[in-house]
Chains A and B, each alone.
Chain A
Amino acid sequence: MSPIRNKIEEMPSGCQRQPISNGASILIKGGRVIDPANKIDAVLDILIEGNKISKVAKNIISSDATVINAENKIVAPGIVDMHVHLREPGREDKETVASATAAAAKGGVTTVLAMPNTQPAMDCPESIALLQKIIKNDAKVNVLVCGAITKDRLGNQLNDIAALKQAGALAISDDGASVDNDSIMLQALKDAKGAGVLTICHCEDKKLTQKGVINLGFNSTRLGLRGISNESEYKRVARDIDLGQKSGSAVHIAHVSCQESIEIIAAAKQKEIKVTCETAPHYFALTEDDIIDYDTNMKINPPLRTKKDLAAIKDGLKNKIIDVIASDHAPHTENEKEIEFDRAEFGKIGLESGLSVSVMELIDKNILSWSELVEKLALNPARILGINKGTLGVDADADIIIIDAHREFVIEKKKILSKSHNSPFIGKTVKGLVEYTIFNGKIVYQVK
């Protein structure tokens, strides 16, 4: 905080001045407002006062507000990205809360759910308190915490889920690993239900994955790399849905990549089992055929699958089987990626590119309407997490993004704000540029 700001805030209350600590008013004029929570898709103005939306209407007039002209632009709730690896604490060389949330703001993301595979893992209240302190000092957008299911995420010893909730965890997951032991997972689901937190399932049977590095198929044969079968994912999806049903707890399936998983989730939803799921932009934008010349930025877990799986993901998004698009933002340093394919880390960054890739692949190709896309990016994840975000209703938090939906641009390595640069989309032309990100009533990102 600048010394000048401090001075202003310390002024005695009799002073004639706008209340700056809550942010000045902002008037967003003439944009196409997309707010699926209120079934709105219309050209409207939005007035922000303090950190809340105070009015959504045609032709709002305000004499003292900062006006943003949003004509021909999309105005939407800020993205709620429920799958982000912040790497802090422990691996600040890859990413920090500060760098990740700067990247988030640039990508139109105003809330992130931080995955617990940090060092230390988020497996006890003390670790969560440590992270909360960093968030308080450094975060540029809203950061929520996901606790770990088991001690050190090793799958052996169940954490005190109620205590994690008490410390501020909204969800639990051993993301990066699946809890192999059925009875531990069942108890975790029961405890999560009792504590009122969401259970997010990383579905992978490591006995089937073994040392696989890309999808099992023609490309793994052609490149001479060990393959990862679809079974390694969907068998665990089926198990976790089954345990969810036994426990009566909701389950959220993370990063769905293959057709069979979608079929299993669709069947469960048909039976009204409490299951939701997410996919990530790379699963509807890339396939195993894109792993040309051993590009390690395409080494992701679960792996990029086939054209058939990609089509199933797009169908799943269209048919509302897939509720959420989340980035699975996984930063890694060049030292961990510019090495032999087998030795390189799994994962890619995605906070800055998720929206644009979604616009290009889903809006432009007529898979989703804007309202449907905003549902997947903002409204549904907010509802699944039980937070009051993802909407532009009056009195809602003023987390708003303004997008030039027609603007094409090339993703350039040198413009990446994340500390790591492991994007499979570098050099690719995408569509839909975030021009403004407003978080908590303040402009936290504005395109240059």
Chain B
Amino acid sequence: MVWTKKDLLGLEYLTSEEIELILDTAESFKEVSTREIKKVPALRGKTAVNLFYEPSTRTRVSFEVAAKRLSADVINISTETSSVRKGETLIDTGKNIQALKADIIIMRHNYSGAANMLARALDISVVNAGDGWHEHPTQALLDMFTLKEKLGKIKGLNVAIVGDIAHSRVARSNIWGLTKLGANVTVCAPEILLPVGIELTGAKTSSNLDEVLKKSDAVNVLRMQFERDEGTAFPAQLDYFKKFGITEERLAKAKKDIVVMHPGPINRGIEMSSEVADGANSVILEQVTNGIAVRMAVLYLVSQAKEAKK
């Protein structure tokens, strides 16, 4: 299996073999972060640019750490202080970064499809660090990597994704990735937060969290994105916690070793209680650690593809 794509835009566009390759590559990179000197020369002489149109700490820092552990030079562009403020178009910004002879653009954008558009316009690699409600492929990859590490496999697992499915790029990427690797995915949310036709992705839907948890090997709890869409009728926060919040009482009725994940940042007391977030089933901080290995794998593979093209 050889990686051939210059970009990583979403898991919908990958085959199961390509996803496996990223996860296997990540496994070999994970060890690097445990060394005394946490660095390998895989991307020495390469330049990666973090281009973030939305505030992000976790993802941006994770990509920066990943690129630096591969010995790449990293430049962070915050759109707050760049010529984007002066009205430059996304494609112009991308072409300027390309003209600076950067090798990889890692982009977070508030509009769905922005990474697809940029990747089409440029010859250099584009890695999607989250676009609108569309995809957040490296988050799903690190979720899957963590699941595989904890439970030994993906195939055949029952995975619940709970919360604001409608506005979640994490949910979409997880559904594509998990179903491609043979997991059974159930999305669980109040009806208003289940987008039209979501079952056509291969996921089952449910609004009964207790029933879903009984059968689940893992639950991925999404953040309620109250800030995202003023036009949506969100359920009241307290009401949501009562019906869909992950609490210790709820987990007591689930499988004993259920793996609890969250992409962060957590709204404690809204989608998850503090006890659960910090409890024995939670792998939330391991997810963060694994994010580095997965992103190292992605940056390494897309830059390899570019080498192959030349």
Contact residues of A with B, CB < 8 Å? 210-211, 216-225, 227, 293-294, 335, 338-343
CB distance from A333 to the nearest CB of B (A): 12
B231 at the interface (CB under 8 A from A): yes
**Known A224-B133, A224-B172; contact A341-B112, beta-carbon cutoff 8 A:** yes
Contact (Cβ within 8 A) B113 A341: yes
- A400 → chain B, closest Cβ, in Å? 43
A17 to B196, CA, bound (A): 71
Residues of chain B with a CB closer than 8 A to A224's CB: 112-113, 131-135, 169, 172
Partner of A294, one of B89, B113, B133: B113
Docked-complex contact B231 and A210, CB < 8 angstroms: yes
Residues from chain A with a CB closer than 8 A to the CB of B112 are 223-225, 294, 341-342
For the complex with contacts A221-B197, A224-B134, A225-B112, 10 further pairs of A-B residues with Cβ separation under 8 Å are A216-B196, A218-B197, A221-B198, A224-B131, A224-B132, A225-B132, A225-B133, A225-B134, A342-B112, A342-B132
Question: Does B116 count as interface, using CB distance less than 8 angstroms?
Answer: yes
Partner of A338, one of B89, B169, B198: B89
With an 8 A cutoff between CB atoms, is B201 at the interface? yes
CB of B188, distance to nearest CB on chain A (Å): 16
In the complex formed, the residue of A with least CB distance to B165 is A221
Cβ B12 vs Cβ A222 within 8 A: yes
**Could you tell me which residues of chain B, from 75 to 113, have a CB within 8 Å of some CB in chain A?**
89-91, 109, 111-113
Partner of B116, one of A218, A222, A293: A293
12 sampled A-B residue pairs with Cβ under 8 A: A216-B196, A221-B196, A221-B200, A222-B172, A222-B197, A222-B200, A223-B113, A224-B112, A224-B131, A224-B133, A293-B120, A339-B91
Contact status A294-B196, CB under 8 Å: no
Q: Is B117 an interface residue (CB 8 A)?
A: yes
Q: Which residue of B lies closest to A210 (CB)?
A: B231
Shortest CB distance A194–B (Å):
40
B114 at the interface (CB under 8 A from A): yes
B195 within 8 A of A: yes
Across the interface, which residues of A come within 8 angstroms of B111, CB to CB?
Answer: 340-343
A338, B92: Cα distance in complex, Å: 10
Contacts of B196 in A (CB 8 A): 216-218, 220-221, 227
**Closest partner residue, chain A, to B115 (CB atom):** A294
B195 CB contacts on chain A under 8 angstroms: 220-221
A280 to B114, CA, bound (A): 29
**Quick one: closest B residue to A229, CB to CB?**
B196
Report the minimal beta-carbon distance from A133 to chain B, rounded to whole angstroms.
35
| CB closest residue in chain B, given A216 | B196
Q: How far is the CA of A223 from the CA of B12 in the complex (A)?
A: 10
**Known contacts being A210-B231, A224-B135, A343-B111, is A294 close to B117, with CB within 8 Å?**
yes
Query: Given A339-B89, A339-B90, are A222 and B201 also a contact pair (CB < 8 Å)?
Result: yes
A104 to B114, CA, bound (A): 34
Instruction: Tell me if B116 and A294 are in contact (CB < 8 A).
Output: yes
Residues 168-202 of chain B, each 1 if its beta carbon lies under 8 Å from chain A, else 0:
01001000000000000000000000011110110
Shortest Cβ distance from B193 into chain A, in angstroms? Answer: 12
Q: With both chains docked as a complex, state the minimum distance between the C-beta of A106 and any C-beta of chain B, in angstroms.
A: 29
Q: What is the CA–CA distance of A182 and B200 in the complex, to the nearest angstrom?
A: 39
Q: Which residue in B89, B90, B113, B197 is a CB contact (below 8 Å) of A225?
A: B113
Q: Is the CB of A218 within 8 A of B135?
A: no
Q: CA separation between A222 and B199, bound complex, in Å?
A: 11
- Please give me the residue from chain B that is nearest to A215 by CB atom: B196
CA distance A431 to B132 in the complex (A): 39
Once the chains bind, are A338 and B91 in contact (CB under 8 Å)? Answer: yes
Chain A residues with Cβ below 8 Å from B117 are 294, 338-341
Contact of A340 with B116 in the complex, beta carbons under 8 Å: no
For A223, list chain B residues within 8 Å (CB). 112-113, 134
A-contact 0/1 string along B197-223, CB 8 Å cutoff? 110110000000000000000000000
User: B231 to chain A: closest CB distance in Å?
Assistant: 5
Instruction: Tell me the bound Cα distance from A211 to B120 in angstroms.
Output: 25
Q: Which B residues, 1 to 60, have Cβ-Cβ distances below 8 Å to chain A?
A: 12
Interface centre among B12, B91, B112 (most CB of A within 10 A): B112
Measured CB to CB, the nearest residue on chain A to B194 is: A221
Task: Please name the residue on chain B nearest to A293 by beta carbon.
Answer: B116
Give residues 212-246 of B contacting A (CB, 8 Å).
231
Closest chain-A Cβ to B51's Cβ sits at a distance in Å of 14
Chain B, 125-143, CB within 8 A of any chain A CB: 131-135
- Choose one: A218, A222, A225, A340; the contact of B109 (CB below 8 Å): A340
CA distance A218 to B194 in the complex (A): 12
List A contacts of B89 (CB < 8 A). Answer: 335, 338-339
- Interface pairs A-B: 7 shortest CB-CB: A218-B197, A224-B133, A224-B134, A294-B113, A224-B112, A340-B111, A221-B195
Chain B residues whose C-beta falls within 8 Å of the C-beta of A342 in the assembled complex:
111-112, 132
Measured between beta carbons, the chain A residues less than 8 angstroms from B116 are 293-294
Query: Would B231 and A211 count as touching, CB distance under 8 A?
Result: yes
List, in ascending order, chain B residues with CB within 8 A of A343's CB: 111
Is B197 a contact of A217 with CB atoms below 8 Å? yes
Minimum CB–CB distance for B11 against chain A, Å: 12
Contacts of B109 in A (CB 8 A): 340
